[in-house]
Chain A
């Protein structure tokens, strides 16, 4: 590969930061920190708290799905009036489903994933002392924190949290009289999401600015590790699509509280009567929502792809195959992400011609996705694979991405979608490809960069147990759901007992619920490993435990604010010289030798 002219070499402008240590108080070091590494940890741990809560919610509603005829007295102790007699009420069930979705998509897999790794890796891997604006970065976390608090508080209002599904389609989400969850709970939901959008914009602008302007000397765009490229496209997607979601929410607020009719028309609510609203379009919201909603899928997926590319290459001791093709496919996915949103709306009655265009564009995404998969497979080919826990999760990610990606070809084809839309087939599809796969990417990232984050090592054996149970469990939970979907079984049903067409899956639902509980327990094991190792883990003795090429491993084991002592290292090559000329690895900081082969 050719190393073009270096675009920016502004490594020295920030040198002064590196030398003098601030006298940090507890508050400025751990709470209102402006150090990107601390902010990353704050995002990570907040994300973990939400992952546990969101996961617990799924276990609770799986109890209802798996054991609809049983009562669990402890549920009444836990949920009070929401589980009278030990059985979750429909209101509570829908609140749990909705909150599980919202929290996992936005708080865990957006903030928890990009928030953590963009913050942690961008300055360290591009060779910068910190983000372009550390203060904005801090604000980004605290807006997320505020969003979390508001969302949490919505669980405790009299009428319950919002319960209309994470997509919050009006009129259901606009009319408090149509569903108790759409009363105060929905107001808090919108406020929380608005705060979240602000957080994600502050973060995203910062990531873009840092990547474009603060690369160290020699770090041209084509020498960036793929993690950075992936995080870059992620940030661009977020910055361009979150404002559209925000506008959709603003209109929703107006419809809810100020009597406008953006989304409302021809509505008669039982017990209230006909509403005055006329002329609005409920479908308009769906366009605005999915204009974010679909890029959001890639906001979740791309960081995982980037980290997986990096980890596969490092642990195969081979360069990533097709570096430029990997960037190209990321770019293609990012562009297409904006052009496929209406494939979520094939059954809304949209113009069939428009639908056909979206079919074409949607299935087009399979091409860059295929390129990525085959490139990952070729990266493994004739490598020297080290099965670190991070590597295991990266391989698991590829497996899940294949499985879930292929069912996307079913759902993206509108004629099949009108059969499978809103069934368990969809649940299986997006949980595998977006939910679990991205989770695997996140786990891979945590196992890989934990030593850099805390200067300690995680327990490997627990990591292996965590991996094997989770991947087996993920397939056991979601694979059979394809069959439920092929039977037409709809999503978001509290109980299937009155349905002649769907009640044959009772035993299966019980099985799935059981497995989901076990998988949840094993995640607790991971959490224990994580927090135990922060304090009691083996101390890292090697600055570069994975023999990796990228810049973060040239920083001290416990880097201070400013990352490098002395000058920021200069970069002389791309990040993937593994096994070149028989040398195991050549860090990016090593100058190109005279006798080195070209590639």
Chain B
């Protein structure tokens, strides 16, 4: 019923607008082409200025309304992210000035130079000087932006500091798998044909001893505050993307081609809860590359903690090897002997 009503109302509005438009056309024919054109010019010239003023007020209003909801309202959560933010402000300043200036010029010109029978137009077809000015000035401004940008780019994509911890992040439809190298500090080899969802989600090669102490986790990955971390990214199926908006970074996870990214977390998750004033705050990993129908739900969580807390958490983790081979787990072996003894009794 409401559906019907809405359609009826819309059609009615259409008919009314159309009738008005038609009537105005007849009126303009009666008045003569010249007169009606001048009238239209006046109205639309005026509206140009109205649009400019309302638009600029709207930009300001929109900013007031939404700025606090963006990431710029508080610090970047990584040391490197602060550089992104400062670069963002510089770019905003440059483009913002150009935006406001050119929009004002455009609409004010439109208003000011609307048809006036007394005005003789200037036959002004070119001016090498002017054209040179607006070739050179943008070129200089852009050079500055490029220099700032490339310095950051080479930092972000360059080698991480030596003390960085390394975590492997693997995307799959639709979730993330994390791997820590374990006590030996090296990842074991893997091969995708070994993947088995039940006991070997990454396809680790168990013949490689380096793999035996690798720790594999899902859902949440733990990082240390102030310690650089290097992510080695990969994917099991289609292209995913590790989006870390709080840290101002992003990198694709591509099947068959490992990629890397690194950053230094600046605040623990707890601290961020206070900074943002949001008790439910989480560092979220969003998948930012279309990866299938569950794309929107492919969420991971980063928990940034102190070194002590991190060590405590890691101490509790069992190497993934023991998930694949429970019988080789020394702690489990102790248990099973007890159980076996009990059975024998």
Binding site for B on A (CB under 8 A): 1, 73-74, 90-91, 94, 163-165, 169-172, 175, 178-181, 264-270, 273-274, 278-283, 316-325, 347-349, 352, 355-356, 359-360, 363-364, 366-367, 370-371, 373-375, 377-378, 380-387, 392, 395, 398-399, 402-403, 406-407, 409-410, 413-416, 418-419, 421-423, 459-462, 464-465, 468, 471-472, 475-476, 479-480, 483, 486-488, 490-496, 498-502, 504-505, 508, 521, 524-525, 528-529, 538, 576, 578-582, 599
Contact = CB atoms under 8 A, between A and B. Distances in A.
A407 B95 contact: yes
B55 A385 contact: no
Contacts of B124: 318-319, 321, 378, 381-382
Interface in B201-246: 203, 233-234, 236-239, 241, 243, 245-246
A359 B258 CA distance: 23
B71 A486 contact: yes
Interface stretch (B37-45, B161-169, B181-189, B326-334): B37-45
Interface in B8-47: 10, 14, 17-18, 20-22, 24-25, 28-29, 37, 40-41, 43-45, 47
Contacts of A94: 290, 293, 295
Contact of A171 (B37, B238, B259, B295): B238
A382 B113 CA distance: 6
Contacts of A356: 150, 153-154
A491 B287 CA distance: 10
Interface in B258-297: 258-260, 278, 280-282, 284, 286-297
A52 B12 CA distance: 21
Given A172-B239, A461-B20, A323 B121 contact: no
Name the residue in B67, B120, B125, B282 with the highest tally of chain A Cβ atoms < 10 Å from its Cβ: B125
A382 B251 CA distance: 50
Name the residue in B44, B98, B105 with the highest tally of chain A Cβ atoms < 10 Å from its Cβ: B44
Contact of B145 (A317, A399, A409, A500): A409
B157 to A, nearest CB: 4
A79 to B, nearest CB: 15
Contacts of B94: 409
B317 interface: no
16 contacts: A165-B290, A264-B256, A318-B123, A349-B254, A359-B153, A378-B130, A385-B41, A402-B106, A409-B145, A418-B156, A479-B62, A488-B245, A492-B295, A492-B296, A500-B281, A581-B123
B281 A579 contact: no
B99 A316 contact: no
A367 B135 contact: yes
Contacts of B338: none
B290 A317 contact: no
Contact of B250 (A264, A319, A347): A347
Nearest to A467: B44
Contact of A419 (B40, B245, B287): B245
A371 B126 CA distance: 12
B116 interface: yes
Name the residue in A178, A392, A418, A495 with the highest tally of chain B Cβ atoms < 10 Å from its Cβ: A418
A395 B106 contact: yes
Contacts of B37: 386
Contacts of B156: 415, 418
Contact of A281 (B17, B192, B236, B256): B256
B237 A495 contact: no
B237 A268 contact: yes
B250 A370 contact: no
A387 B114 contact: yes
Contacts of B284: 499-501
Contact of B126 (A169, A323, A392, A409): A323
Contacts of B17: 462, 465, 525
Contacts of B44: 387, 392, 464
Contacts of A181: 293
A133 B339 CA distance: 88
Contact of A268 (B22, B236, B249): B236
A419 to B, nearest CB: 4
A215 to B, nearest CB: 22
A465 B150 CA distance: 46
A475 B67 CA distance: 17
A265 B240 CA distance: 15
A509 B87 CA distance: 28
A295 to B, nearest CB: 21
A597 B208 CA distance: 86
Contacts of B83: 415
Given A282-B254, A386-B115, A90 B293 contact: yes
A402 B125 contact: no
A325 B130 CA distance: 11
Nearest to B151: A415
A505 to B, nearest CB: 7
Contacts of A374: 130-131, 134
B84 interface: yes
Contacts of A163: 293
Contacts of B109: 377, 380-381
Contact of B256 (A280, A367, A378, A461): A280
Contacts of B234: 266
B286 A501 contact: yes
B79 interface: no
A318 B123 CA distance: 6
Given A363-B146, A495-B297, A501-B284, 15 more contacts: A267-B238, A267-B256, A269-B173, A318-B121, A349-B259, A371-B131, A415-B84, A415-B148, A416-B149, A418-B84, A462-B17, A480-B62, A502-B286, A528-B18, A529-B21
A508 B66 CA distance: 9
A382 B122 contact: yes
Contacts of B70: 483, 486-487
Contact of B293 (A91, A367, A375, A499): A91
Nearest to A172: B238
Contacts of A414: 149-150, 153
A440 to B, nearest CB: 13
Nearest to B10: A521
A323 B293 CA distance: 50
A4 B99 CA distance: 39
A450 to B, nearest CB: 14
A460 to B, nearest CB: 7
Contact of A399 (B10, B103, B154): B103
A355 B21 CA distance: 53
A384 B131 contact: no
Nearest to B54: A472
A406 B237 CA distance: 36
B72 interface: yes
A468 B241 CA distance: 39
B343 interface: no
A170 B284 CA distance: 26
B205 to A, nearest CB: 14
B162 to A, nearest CB: 19
B142 A383 contact: no
A385 B114 contact: yes
Nearest to B243: A490
A342 to B, nearest CB: 13
Name the residue in A90, A500, A502, A521 with the highest tally of chain B Cβ atoms < 10 Å from its Cβ: A500
B18 A349 contact: no
A267 B245 contact: no
Nearest to B27: A461
B249 A282 contact: no
A29 B121 CA distance: 44
B345 interface: no
A170 B123 CA distance: 55
Contact of B106 (A360, A398, A407): A398
Contacts of B292: 164, 172, 178-179
Nearest to A465: B17
